[in-house]
Structure 1
């Protein structure tokens, strides 16, 4: 069993995601530090906020975070740059907002009183980022989240204050998020939106499984391999532009740490987001099929932006219960892992 599978099995039994042990980077505490892949600058100070430390949650700076504090600990700012299993900002922000509701260290967070808006410019994409701010009843008065995409990275900010209300914090975080110094991404993201609850969707029973051919596995893994290769991805984006993803809605059975999402128009299951650290299971019909006589297979995969694992296929889209069962009990059939050179593919052994 791979580390990713083990992490998912642990996460399935928890209300919050299990994070890797952070490794502090050897950075001069008085000096600015730049995350080379994104160009995101982590200054030693941001106004009256001082940087505590910079930590890495994945190898090769693929999941980086830093926390800033005021001298009296009245405000806390966290900044993250990380890979993810999906770069759908609308969906990933919704999952992150849900996770915020479980954080009782700040006090009782009024998720119903959230201020929601979008932000962005020509570089990252107009209105492509999500900003949400919340009143808090407790030691803190307010907390806020900002999330946007920069290429194949998610940039996330969390700001919490004991001093100012949600409206004031919302304006401050909007200025911080829109003014972050980073390298302009090679392509912009589509506009973001606020997800709504799905309407009543009939229960979906078990669907038939399908054995994938070697060609199917090569096709499925190659698509992910291309997405892991930054140079190829940039070339494709320059020629085709950034495509909008199908609009999603939130399934009623979602709960913090395990959020279910459907395609809003069809009602079909689309993804499961585990926590807010970037692990996503997705299901859908393979976009490419070389066999014109046979419908393309439906494939379930789970990934965190660094490794994607694939399971035996389906004849049609399964329900969330069957997806969870497969993730918990079934064997990984193939995988794609990000490497310094691009990616490494592991295929099932030949029959």
Structure 2
């Protein structure tokens, strides 16, 4: 859901939520005493949480693929937010690390100190430490005394709880978050143990500036179609290979960070924001007898994962730097897209605006 991402500059944030253009948000209206039931995961969020009344529910991608709801006191001195978004890439530890970094770099929290280091926790009724949490103490320039984040997965859905308080200590905020988590009604699901992500041993290095892969218009169309059609096959092979150990490579701007699977030297994931949007950069797949002939056998594909679709960017002749990827996004260098939600899995050759 690209509308929650600002590619021209660092991500803009407001309060405890990523800034979203008003036109991109859809408000969900419920009676004040009506619980929200997520239609896909069956997660139920009560109308009040942690002693606070729900103030709004916003949908950031159609079909409830990415949404958030706020619970706040009248003076906004106590705020809880619950987010539910689709798992399309990466891992729980990776997206928890993104949520952490957004807090750590958020100007409203004035360079906060980590008061309760990232750690695993078990949801009520479970013996498996499948969730991750951390609590921060904001700097003197922040109105908040404490702020924190917790995340866990329910099937193919990530659930994130954000909490901020002008009066609670870090320990008090932790207990408040635990109480709020216990109020969520979760369907039966497999709990998978999670641990905080680690930094990569060494950062990736890039050999010069990458350029668009040369080819005529017809070649670009074929590569775009293949790129979209093969994404499903790639996902299946990754699932068959077993769990991936992600490490954090480097931080760009707020909400923009690079992660690598199994310390890969020729691929990475550029996370954009903290709600599941990311660009996967990897060697381009080629199909003998179908892929256009190329002088460059080391072309790289760039796939933007969004809530309901994958968007392919123009291939590069070498491993592109994250800054180069951002530049391609800024300039809408799109070649094709593939639906990843619903029955229609159409691959569309396209160019121009990314859209909402």
Normalized against structure 1, the TM-score is what?
0.78
Q: How does 1:69-148 map to 2 (within 5 A)?
A: 69-70=72-73, 73-83=76-86, 86-105=89-108, 107-120=109-122, 126-136=128-138, 137=140, 138-148=142-152
Alignment partners' CA distance in 2, 1:242 and 1:127: 23
Indicate conservation of the 8 Å contact 2:119/2:195, yes or no.
no
Q: Structure 1's 324 and 58: CA in aligned 2 closer, same or farther, altered over 3 A?
A: closer
CA distance in 2, matches of 1:289, 1:33: 45
The structure 2 residue matched to 1:279, chosen from 277, 281, 284, is 277
Offset of residue 41 of structure 1: 0.9
How far did 1:182 drift? 2.4
Give how far 1:81 is off.
0.8
Provide the C-alpha distance between the structure 2 equivalents of 1:7 and 1:242, rounded to a whole number of angstroms: 32
Where do residues 1-351 of structure 1 align in structure 2 (5 Å cutoff)? 4=2, 10-16=6-12, 18-21=19-22, 22-70=25-73, 73-83=76-86, 86-105=89-108, 107-120=109-122, 126-136=128-138, 137=140, 138-177=142-181, 180-185=184-189, 191-196=194-199, 199=202, 201-207=204-210, 209-210=212-213, 217-224=224-231, 243-251=242-250, 253-263=251-261, 265-268=263-266, 270-286=268-284, 289-291=286-288, 297-329=299-331, 331-347=333-349
> 1:335: how far off?
0.3
In 2, the alpha carbon distance for the partners of 1:19 and 1:273 equals: 17
For structure 1, the 5+ residue unaligned runs are 228-232
Deviation at 1:334, TM superposition (A): 0.9
User: CA shift at 1:248, angstroms?
Assistant: 1.6
In the alignment, the residues of structure 2 paired with residue 241 and residue 176 of structure 1 have an alpha-carbon distance, to the nearest angstrom, of 36
Number of aligned positions between the proteins? 332
Q: Equivalent residue of 1:325, what SS? A: helix
TM-score, normalisation: structure 2: 0.77
The verdict on how the C-alpha distance between 1:144 and 1:207 changes in structure 2, with shifts beyond 3 A counting, is same
CA distance in 2, matches of 1:296, 1:54: 46
Rounded to whole Å, the distance in 1 between the matches of 2:101 and 2:61 is 24
Q: Distance in 2 between matches of 1:139 and 1:208?
A: 46
